[in-house]
C-alpha cells in the first residue's frame, strides 16, 4: 500500500476515535486542541474516574440472602464503540441481539443476611459480564443474563444456591432487544424466555441503489396532536425490515435440566408474562404499519392471552398506531393501557381505559376506568374503580384489599383509594389526597414482599388491619427516612423507625411480615453507604452486613453543609455547599466556585421552598457531578434551587427567565455573603435541562465568568410540541418558546460557554444539532465558546476516555476563565 495512503487511513482512524472539538477564542482563550486523541485531566480528577465503585444489592424473596454484583470500572471506548443500530427508539447491538447500553456486572457473590457471611460461587463464566439477574420465587436459584459484546454472545445462566455453583442453562442464545429476555415461571421449575429465532438467515442489507423516495402523508381531519421530538426513529423501509429482524424472538419455556419447549411461532414480542398461577401468558406484540415519527411503544400492537402451549386464548385488545396525543401532559392513548396481571389472583388481568378520549381538555367526571377480567376470559370486564384523574398503578394485598393510585399532572393532585378486588361493587375508601409536590406530607410508599409465586404483595399485619409504609421523611431539617405501621380503618400511624442525626439511614425493605426487622442503608458525611439489619422491635439494634470502604479517602476532609436562603420574591431556596479539604473561609478568603443546578417546575411556592436531601449523607464525590472540582481547589454549590413556580391558573414557564435569574442572584449573593466564593470568579453549569439553564443565565445575566453546558437544548422551536414539563405547543405559546430559547439571545452571551455533547444523544429534544447551532451562533456573533462532541456517546457518557475528556475540558475552561480571572477585591480597588 502506498505510504501516503497509509498515513491518510491512520489519520482517519485517529479522528474517528477522538472527540470533535470546535473552539472560538479571544486573546486569553486556550487554543483549539487538535482532534488527534483524547485528553487526560490532572491526576486528582483521574483518581475520581478510577475509584472503585460499590456493588449493587438484590435481596432474595425470603429476605435472608443478598446477591451482590460488582460494578466494574468504566468501559473503554473500544467497548462503547461496538456496532449499534438505532431503530424505533431502541439501541441494539446486532452482534448480541441485546440492548447496547447495559452496565455489566463483573463479579457475583451471595451473602447471608443473618450472619453477614459471604458465599462465593463456583463455575461463573470468565470474563463475567452480567446484564441482569433474577431470583426464582422459591429462592433456590438465581438466573442471570451473560452478554459478551466482544464475542457476540447472549446467554442464560443459573446459580444453584444450595450447591453454590453456576452453569449455563441452554446453548441457544437469548434475544434481549425488547427487555430482560427471561423471567421465572411461578413454580420456579421453568423460565419463560425469548430466544433468537432459528433459521431466519442473515440480517437484511439495505440496497445501495434507491428504489424510490420515502414518503409520509397526513390525513385530513386528524386534529391537533402533540408529537414529541424523538431520536432514533425508523427512516425508511430498509430500517423497518432491520427492526423486524432484530426484534423478532421465539418465546419458549426452559426447564432446569435445559429442555426447551417452543411456544408458537416467532413474533415481534415487546413483553410476555405468566399469570400468577402459571396457566396463561400475557403477550404484547407489535405489527405494521410502523411509523417514522414515534418509537416502538406507539406502534400498533396486539395484547393477547396465550395458554402454556403458546396457543391464543383471547385477544384482549388490538391497538392502533398512536402518532401523537392531544395537547397536555395528562393526555393518554385511548383503549387498553397499563395492563398487568393482578398479583393476588390466579389469572386476572387489570388495566385502565380513558373515558374522555384521552384528552385532558374535555370535561369529564370520570377520566379513567380500572377494569378487571378473569380466566377463562369469556365474560365482560368488571369495573374495579372509576377515577376522576389518571390511573397511576396499584398495590395488591388480597381479595379484600388493594390500593389504587390516581394522579392529575396539571394540578399535581394525587389520590389513593382502598378497594376490595373480590367485591368491586363495594364503594372505595379514600386513604390519601394531596399534592405530589408536597414532600413534607408524603406518607411514603406501601411496603411489599414477594409471595410464593414471586408476585409483589402488600405486607399486611396478621389481623388484616395494618400495612406498612416506607418514606423519605422530608422536613425543614432535611430528609429523615422512616417506617410507619398504618391502620387502614382509622388512618393513624405508628412510627417504627426514623433516621436520626448524625446519620442518614434509609430503609430498603422489611425483612419479615411482622415488621420487626428491616434492611437499611446507613451513611454519614464521613462514612460511605453500608447495609445493616435494624431490629425494629428491640430498641433498634443494628447488625452490620457490608463493609465498603471510602473509595476516595484523600477527600475525607471535604466539608458539606445544607444551606437555606430566600429569593427576592420570598420563595425559600436550598442548596448543598461543599468546601475543599483544609479550606478555612475566614483564614483563606473566598475561592473560585462552580455552581450546578437543574430547574424544576412547581404549582406552589410553598412546595418549591421545601428542603430536599439531607445534611447527613455521605460526601460522595463523583466524576459526573460538580463535586469533582473540589479536588482542584474550587468551592462547589450543588443543586442550588431553581424553582419555576406557576400557581393556580398561571403556567410556570410564563415567567421562566425572571425566576431563573432571581434564583441565581440569590444563590450568588448567599455564597458571597458566606465568604466562600469570589463574586468575580464563579462558573455555572448543568447537564441536559441544566445546560439549557446555563446558557440562559449567560444570556440574561453577567453573574458568571463562565458556563459549562453538557448535552443541552437551546432552541425550543426545535421541540415544538412541548419540552420538560411544558405542555403547550409552540403555536399556543410562541412567546414562551422564543423567550426561553437562549439561542435567540446568543448575541447577549458575553461570557465563556463550554458545550459538551454526546454525538449520538438519544434523549428526546437534545439532538446534537442543538449544540452545533448554538456554537455557530455564538462564534458568528464574536463570542467565546467551545464545542466538544464525544464519539459514540449518548445523553450520558460511558467510556473512560470520554469521561476523562469531559473532565479535562471542564478543568481547562475553569482554569482559564474562572481561576485566572481577577478577584473581586482587586477589581474594586481599581482607581
pLDDT recorded at residue 65: 98
**Statement: residue 530 has pLDDT above 90:** yes
Q: Tens of pLDDT along 757-808?
A: 999 999 999 999 999 999 999 999 999 999 999 999 999 999 999 999 999 9
Instruction: Tell me the three cell numbers of residue 275.
Output: 399469570
d(CA 214, CA 238): 10
Mean pLDDT of the chain: 93
Confidence band of 212 (pLDDT split at 50, 70, 90): confident
d(CA 541, CA 516): 11
Confidence band of 15 (pLDDT split at 50, 70, 90): very low
Which CATH fold topology does 583-598+632-637+644-821 show? Rossmann fold (3.40.50)
588 Cβ neighbours under 8 A, 6+ residues apart = none
Q: Tens of pLDDT along 152-180?
A: 999 999 999 999 999 999 999 999 999 99
Burial (Cβ within 10 Å: 0-12, 13-18, ≥19) of residue 665: middle
Cβ atoms of 67 and 654 closer than 8 Å: no
Confidence band of 8 (pLDDT split at 50, 70, 90): very low
Confidence band of 827 (pLDDT split at 50, 70, 90): confident
What's the whole-number mean pLDDT along residues 121-133? Answer: 95
Q: Tens of pLDDT along 179-192?
A: 999 999 999 999 99
Tell me the percentage of the chain whose pLDDT exceeds 90.
87
The angle at the Cα of 170, spanning 165 to 174, to the nearest 5 degrees, equals 115
Strand 445-446 and strand 466-471: the pairing is antiparallel
pLDDT recorded at residue 32: 45
What's the whole-number mean pLDDT along residues 247-267? Answer: 97
**Statement: residue 550 has pLDDT above 50:** yes
Instruction: Tell me the three cell numbers of residue 126.
Output: 470468565
- CATH 3.30.499.10 assigned to 55-200+228-324: no
pLDDT recorded at residue 301: 97
826 Cβ neighbours under 8 A, 6+ residues apart = none
**Statement: residue 34 has pLDDT above 60:** no
Q: Tens of pLDDT along 676-694?
A: 999 999 999 999 999 999 9
Q: In what order do the strands lie in the sheet with 165-168?
A: 130-135, 141-148, 153-160, 165-168
C-alpha distance from residue 256 to each of 66, 156, 191, 407 (Å): 22, 11, 8, 43
Confidence band of 828 (pLDDT split at 50, 70, 90): low
Q: Tens of pLDDT along 473-493?
A: 999 999 999 999 999 999 999
The model's pTM: 0.93
Burial (Cβ within 10 Å: 0-12, 13-18, ≥19) of residue 12: exposed
Tell me what percent of the chain is helix, strand and coil, each rounded to the nearest 5.
20, 35, 50
pLDDT recorded at residue 17: 55
Confidence band of 370 (pLDDT split at 50, 70, 90): very high
d(CA 251, CA 267): 8
Looking at the DSSP assignment, which residues form a beta bridge with residue 762? none
User: Sign of the CA dihedral 713, 715, 720, 726?
Assistant: positive
Is the peptide bond prior to 292 cis by the omega test (within 30 degrees of 0)? Answer: no
Burial (Cβ within 10 Å: 0-12, 13-18, ≥19) of residue 397: buried
What's the whole-number mean pLDDT along residues 212-237? Answer: 84
Confidence band of 323 (pLDDT split at 50, 70, 90): very high
Name the residue among 752, 782, 613, 771 with its Cα closest to residue 683: 752
pLDDT recorded at residue 538: 74
Tell me the percentage of the chain whose pLDDT exceeds 70.
95
3-class secondary structure, 488: coil
Domain ranges of the chain: 55-200+228-324, 583-598+632-637+644-821
**Statement: residue 2 has pLDDT above 60:** no
650 Cβ neighbours under 8 A, 6+ residues apart = none
Looking at the DSSP assignment, which residues form a beta bridge with residue 350? 340, 372
d(CA 22, CA 178): 37
Looking at the DSSP assignment, which residues form a beta bridge with residue 147? 154
What's the whole-number mean pLDDT along residues 81-106? Answer: 90
State the DSSP string of 92-132. Answer: EETTTTEES----B--EEEEETTT--EE--BS--SS--EEE
DSSP class of 29 = S
Catalytic residues: 688, 761, 795
What's the whole-number mean pLDDT along residues 71-80? Answer: 90
Of 39-48, 148-157, 334-343, 626-635, least confident by mean pLDDT is 148-157
**Statement: residue 829 has pLDDT above 60:** no
What's the whole-number mean pLDDT along residues 42-71? Answer: 95
Looking at per-residue confidence, does 213 or 696 come out higher?
696
Cβ atoms of 396 and 343 closer than 8 Å: yes
Amino acid at each position: 500500500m502506498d505510504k501516503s495512503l497509509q498515513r491518510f487511513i491512520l489519520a482517519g482512524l485517529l479522528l474517528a476515535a477522538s472527540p470533535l472539538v470546535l473552539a472560538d477564542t479571544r486573546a486569553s482563550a486556550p487554543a483549539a486542541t487538535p482532534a488527534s486523541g483524547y485528553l487526560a485531566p490532572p491526576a486528582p480528577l483521574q483518581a475520581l474516574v478510577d475509584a472503585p465503585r460499590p456493588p449493587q444489592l438484590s435481596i432474595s424473596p425470603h429476605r435472608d440472602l443478598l446477591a451482590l454484583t460488582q460494578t466494574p470500572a468504566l468501559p473503554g471506548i473500544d467497548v462503547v464503540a461496538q456496532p449499534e443500530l438505532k431503530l424505533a427508539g431502541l439501541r441494539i447491538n446486532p452482534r448480541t441481539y441485546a440492548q447496547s447500553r447495559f452496565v455489566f456486572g463483573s463479579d457475583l457473590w451471595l451473602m447471608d443476611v443473618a450472619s453477614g457471611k459471604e458465599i462465593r460461587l463456583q463455575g461463573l463464566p470468565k470474563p463475567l459480564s452480567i446484564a441482569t439477574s433474577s431470583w426464582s420465587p422459591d429462592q433456590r436459584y438465581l438466573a442471570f443474563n451473560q452478554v459478551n459484546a466482544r464475542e457476540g454472545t447472549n446467554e442464560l445462566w443459573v446459580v444453584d444456591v444450595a450447591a453454590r455453583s453456576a452453569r449455563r442453562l441452554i446453548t441457544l442464545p437469548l434475544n434481549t432487544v425488547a427487555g430482560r429476555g427471561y423471567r421465572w415461571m411461578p413454580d420456579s421449575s421453568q423460565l419463560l424466555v425469548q430466544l433468537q429465532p432459528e433459521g431466519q438467515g442473515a440480517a437484511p442489507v439495505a440496497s445501495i441503489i434507491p428504489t424510490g423516495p420515502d414518503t409520509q402523508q397526513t390525513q385530513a381531519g386528524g386534529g391537533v396532536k402533540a408529537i414529541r421530538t424523538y431520536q432514533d426513529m425508523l427512516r425508511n423501509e430498509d430500517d423497518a425490515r432491520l427492526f423486524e429482524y432484530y426484534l423478532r424472538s421465539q418465546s419458549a419455556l426452559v426447564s432446569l435440566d435445559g429442555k426447551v419447549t417452543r411456544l408458537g411461532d416467532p413474533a415481534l414480542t415487546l413483553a410476555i408474562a405468566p399469570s400468577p398461577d402459571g396457566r396463561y401468558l400475557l403477550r404484547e406484540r407489535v405489527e405494521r404499519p410502523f411509523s417514522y415519527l414515534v418509537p416502538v411503544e406507539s406502534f400498533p400492537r396486539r395484547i393477547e392471552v396465550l395458554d402454556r402451549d403458546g396457543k391464543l386464548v383471547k385477544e384482549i385488545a388490538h391497538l392502533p398506531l398512536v402518532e401523537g396525543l392531544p395537547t397536555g401532559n395528562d393526555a393518554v392513548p385511548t383503549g387498553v393501557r397499563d395492563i398487568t396481571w393482578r398479583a393476588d389472583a390466579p389469572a386476572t388481568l387489570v388495566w385502565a381505559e380513558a373515558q374522555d378520549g384521552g384528552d385532558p381538555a374535555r370535561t369529564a367526571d370520570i377520566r379513567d376506568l380500572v377494569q378487571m377480567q378473569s380466566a377463562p376470559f369469556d365474560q365482560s370486564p368488571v369495573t374495579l374503580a372509576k377515577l376522576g384523574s389518571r390511573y397511576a398503578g396499584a398495590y395488591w394485598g388480597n381479595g379484600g384489599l388493594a390500593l389504587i393510585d390516581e394522579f392529575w399532572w396539571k394540578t399535581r393532585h394525587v389520590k389513593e383509594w382502598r378497594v376490595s378486588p373480590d367485591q368491586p361493587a363495594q364503594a372505595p375508601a379514600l386513604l390519601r389526597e394531596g399534592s405530589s409536590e408536597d414532600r413534607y406530607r408524603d406518607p411514603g410508599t406501601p411496603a411489599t414482599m414477594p409471595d410464593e409465586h414471586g408476585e409483589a404483595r402488600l405486607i399486611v399485619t396478621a389481623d388484616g388491619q395494618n400495612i406498612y409504609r416506607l418514606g423519605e421523611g422530608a422536613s425543614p431539617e432535611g430528609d429523615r427516612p422512616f417506617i410507619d405501621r398504618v391502620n387502614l380503618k382509622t388512618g393513624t400511624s405508628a412510627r417504627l423507625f426514623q433516621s436520626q442525626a448524625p446519620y442518614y439511614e434509609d430503609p430498603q425493605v422489611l425483612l419479615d411480615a411482622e415488621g420487626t426487622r428491616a434492611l437499611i442503608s446507613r451513611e454519614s458525611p464521613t462514612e460511605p453507604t453500608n447495609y445493616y439489619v435494624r431490629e425494629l422491635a428491640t430498641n433498634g439494634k443494628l447488625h452490620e452486613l457490608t463493609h465498603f470502604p471510602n473509595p476516595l479517602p484523600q477527600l475525607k476532609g471535604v466539608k458539606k453543609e445544607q444551606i437555606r436562603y430566600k429569593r427576592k420574591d420570598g420563595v425559600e431556596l436550598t442548596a448543598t455547599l461543599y468546601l475543599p479539604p483544609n479550606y478555612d473561609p475566614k483564614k483563606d478568603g473566598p475561592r473560585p466556585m462552580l455552581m450546578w443546578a437543574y430547574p424544576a417546575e412547581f404549582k406552589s411556592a410553598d412546595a418549591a421552598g421545601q428542603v430536599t436531601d439531607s445534611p447527613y449523607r455521605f460526601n460522595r464525590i463523583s466524576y459526573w457531578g460538580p463535586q469533582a472540582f473540589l479536588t482542584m481547589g474550587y468551592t462547589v454549590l450543588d443543586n442550588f434551587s431553581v424553582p419555576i413556580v406557576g400557581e393556580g391558573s398561571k403556567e410556570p414557564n410564563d415567567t421562566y427567565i425572571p425566576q431563573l435569574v432571581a434564583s441565581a442572584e440569590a444563590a450568588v449573593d448567599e455564597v458571597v455573603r458566606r465568604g466562600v466564593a469570589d463574586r468575580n470568579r464563579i462558573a455555572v453549569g448543568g447537564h441536559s435541562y441544566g445546560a439549557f439553564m446555563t446558557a440562559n443565565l449567560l444570556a440574561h445575566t453577567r453573574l458568571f465568568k463562565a458556563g459549562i453546558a453538557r448535552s443541552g437544548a437551546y432552541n425550543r422551536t426545535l421541540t415544538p410540541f412541548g419540552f420538560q414539563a411544558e405542555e403547550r405547543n409552540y403555536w399556543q405559546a410562541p412567546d414562551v418558546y422564543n423567550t426561553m430559547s437562549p439561542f435567540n439571545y446568543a448575541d447577549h452571551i458575553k461570557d465563556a460557554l463550554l458545550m459538551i455533547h454526546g454525538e449520538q444523544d438519544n434523549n428526546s429534544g437534545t439532538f446534537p444539532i442543538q449544540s452545533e447551532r448554538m456554537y455557530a451562533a455564538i462564534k458568528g456573533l464574536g463570542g467565546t465558546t467551545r464545542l466538544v462532541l464525544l464519539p459514540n456517546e449518548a445523553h450520558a457518557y460511558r467510556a473512560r476516555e470520554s469521561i476523562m475528556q469531559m473532565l479535562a475540558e471542564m478543568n481547562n475552561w475553569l482554569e482559564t476563565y474562572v481561576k485566572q480571572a481577577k478577584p473581586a477585591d482587586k477589581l474594586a480597588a481599581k482607581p
